[in-house]
Amino acid sequence: MPDGDHTAAVSPGPGRQSSPRRGYGRPAVLFLGLLLFWLALAGGYGVPQIASGTVVAGLVTAFWAKQLQSGPAEADVPVLQLVFQPRFFVYVARMLVEIVKANWAVALIVLNPKMPISPQFVIVRTKLKHNLTRVIYANSITLTPGTISVSLEGDTIIVHALTGAAAEGVGNWPVENRVKGLEQAWGR
């Protein structure tokens, strides 16, 4: 067994067959989430909307539940494990605060008759180790007004910032620590 690997194979014993553990909780959460999303977009709660939403959510769950739980082949952290982490809610709360702050800053720029912008590119090196958490971080940068992640290769993110202050802020952004906390909570 390699030094970093702490897993061990367990034999089911003589005469017993091992069976994979079936978890129906996550597909059920996926189904309900998709159905609620469908109903929110449908704009009504009549029988046709509920019936069509149930069919669509059921089909998506049936075809994609396993893929969404394990993530795409190149992802090294299961996607749905993210939502089931308590630290995920801390990350979401922090993102909401950062989005409001960035919206306020961009609104002040837009309302200023001199338009004090100084667009620039900045290269950010992230300390995140997994591809999925790097993508989450790059998307977090893009979600905040005034910054856009242009490229993500390895641990390097190229960000376009609307102002010099936004460019400086990306370098030591506290959201990266929240995403790092998620990465550590997965224990991978």
Q: What are the pLDDT digits (tens) for 127-157? A: 998 888 898 899 999 999 999 999 999 999 9
pLDDT digits (tens, 9 = 90+) for 98-130: 999 999 999 999 998 888 889 999 999 999 988
Torsion angles phi and psi, residue 63, rounded to 5: -85, -30
Mean pLDDT of the chain: 79
Determine the Cα–Cα distance for residues 56 and 26; give it in Å rounded to an integer: 17
DSSP secondary structure string for all residues of 147-160: EEEEEEETTEEEEE
- For the stretch 19-26, contacts whose Cβ atoms lie closer than 8 Å and that sit 24 or more positions apart, written own/partner, are 26/65, 26/69, 26/80, 26/84
The answer to whether 128 touches 154, Cβ cutoff 8 Å, is: no
Closest CA to 137 of 86, 76, 180, 96: 180
Helix (H, G, I), strand (E, B) or coil at 69: helix
Q: At what angle do helices 86-111 and 131-143 cross, to 10 degrees?
A: 30
Give CA separation, 47 vs 42, 51, 188, in Å.
12, 6, 44
Query: Which of 50 and 80 is assigned the larger pLDDT?
Result: 50
Torsion angles phi and psi, residue 124, rounded to 5: -115, 130
pLDDT digits (tens, 9 = 90+) for 47-78: 998 999 999 999 988 887 776 666 555 444 46
The tokens describing 39, both together, are 């109903």
Question: In 104-175, which ranges are E strands?
Answer: 120-125, 147-153, 156-161
Q: What is the mean pLDDT of residues 21-45?
A: 78
pTM of the model: 0.61
Q: How would you list the strands of the sheet with 156-161, edge to edge?
A: 120-125, 156-161, 147-153
The domain spans of the chain are 25-70, 86-186
Lowest mean pLDDT among 6-15, 34-43, 46-55, 162-171: 6-15
